Chains A and B, each alone.
Chain A
């Protein structure tokens, strides 16, 4: 079974530029998550989708971050404009359902903002 796919794996941009990350979850997984992991810290949940609807985005900085999940499968996370403090690894995870199901994590996208 294929795992969670993410691209790109690495991205370097200058502050105030825009960037987008892509995630393809495990086939059949209804729930998709984006996490931000800053160096030396644990992952922090940014947004949770159930199919193509947002369940929770309370920790998403909505002035600069946006995310969508079209057709309930792939998802994109966008940052516009980026700040230095956005440098982090962005992890995508998916699960069969929101409750009582284990989350499977992708390899992550390492973003460096200079």
Chain B
């Protein structure tokens, strides 16, 4: 079974600071997602990373994927309170080189940004 580990699980940071969330996974995959979840809400797609070296940026968030290291990062630049939420990475399971459309999620990183 594919294992996905995120760290840290809890992150408390001051506005204006930078930080990185890490997502490691255990087996080959070249398709990784980042989602945001607000309390009591469903999952909102942030990024889809499709190949080794992929980098995507939206506002203060930047995600990257290193398939050889089986590692993705979500970098937060100059954090603001509105970024407070739980962030999940999810890896699409691969079988013989093809993705199966089955997502395996990390436990999530609960981010709190304070003034």
Contacts and interface: CB of A to CB of B under 8 A. Distances in A.
A97 B108 contact: no
Interface stretch (A11-19, A42-50, A68-76, A78-86): A42-50
A56 B4 CA distance: 19
B48 interface: yes
Q: Determine the interface band of chain B, counting residues with CB < 8 A from chain A.
A: 20 to 34
A56 B102 CA distance: 9
Interface of B: 4, 31, 33, 41-43, 45, 48, 88, 90, 98-108
Contact of A42 (B100, B101, B106): B106
Interface residues of A, number: 24
Interface of A: 31, 33, 40-45, 48, 56, 91, 95, 97-108
A42 B105 contact: yes
A42 B107 contact: yes
A87 to B, nearest CB: 15
